[in-house]
Amino acid sequence: MRLLDRVVETPRPCELLRSESASLEHLFMLDVSPTELDALLERGWRRAGPVYFRPACAACAECVCLRIVAPRFVPTKSQRRAERACSRLRRVVGTPRVDEERLALYARWHAQREGTRGWEPSPVSAESYALQFAFPHPCAREATFYDDDAGGRMVGVGLFDETPRALSAGYFFHEPDAEKLSLGTANVLALVADARATSREHVYLGFRVTGCASLRYKARFEPHELLVGRPSSEESPDWQAPPSQGR
């Protein structure tokens, strides 16, 4: 892999925990192999296009990387309901793409979040979408959900990475009027099923933040493991099951 630049942000107000400040470490890299991405994921790094990032906050450690243990995963009753509600949808996995249908779906979804959750506006162009979600990478995958009962309408798009040892959920957006289907949950369950079918051990969900309602849901996928600290490339990562885990 080729490291082009490394940037550590100046601390700024945290968007997830209003009482805290936040800082991210960014690595701008090209030619990252699937095996190298596996090692980065194991050490808490996330990928968005050519950028790899993880928290670098000095005074806060609330962002904790979480991964599902796929072979032992057991869905909850509500997760089973989401799976059943979405079972009629057609799921297609392929290479990430950029087109007007995806851009329009993202715009509708984000506008709905702006109205209901107070998100800041985030207009996306074809170029910015391609850079963040469809940047060429050997691990990049896209799962699209279609409602054939509604003429084959695209209702959800999930971006994820597929490495030799794991799957890593990156981003998911969906049709606002499909909210009741719990498509986000169904997307994670589909990734767990994919991991099991291909003998992969883990599904990475990114950062769990217990004080942030929109990220707290990740801890409901059990069993899962949490990364201890921010290990360097020379250190062995320490993943532990939370002591309170269990139903």
Residue 44 resides in a domain:
yes
Which pLDDT value is given to residue 211? 81
In order along its 247 residues, the chain shows pLDDT tens digits of 999 999 999 999 888 888 888 899 999 999 999 999 999 999 999 999 999 999 999 888 889 999 999 999 999 999 999 999 999 999 999 999 999 999 999 999 999 988 887 778 888 999 999 999 999 999 999 999 999 999 999 999 999 999 999 999 999 999 999 888 999 999 999 999 999 999 999 999 999 988 887 788 899 999 999 999 999 999 999 999 998 775 5
pLDDT tens for each residue of 38-78: 999 999 999 999 999 999 998 888 899 999 999 999 999 99
Q: Is the dihedral of CA 101, 102, 105, 111 positive or negative?
A: negative
Which pLDDT value is given to residue 246? 59
Residue 171 resides in a domain:
yes
Coil, helix or strand at residue 47? strand
Q: For residue 130, what is the domain's CATH number?
A: 3.40.630.30
Residue 11 resides in a domain:
yes
* Residue-number span of the structural domain to which 233 is assigned: 2-240
Domain count, the chain: 1
- DSSP string across 159-203: EEEE-SSEEEEEEEEE-GGGGGG-HHHHHHHHHHHHHHHTT--EE
Q: Write the secondary structure of 85-109 as one string of H (helix), E (strand) and C (coil).
A: HCCCCEEEEECCCCCHHHHHHHHHH
Residue 245 resides in a domain:
no
Question: In whole angstroms, what is the distance from residue 70 CA to residue 145 CA?
Answer: 22
Residue 231 resides in a domain:
yes
Question: In whole angstroms, what is the distance from residue 170 CA to residue 139 CA?
Answer: 12
Residue 246 resides in a domain:
no
Residue 30 resides in a domain:
yes
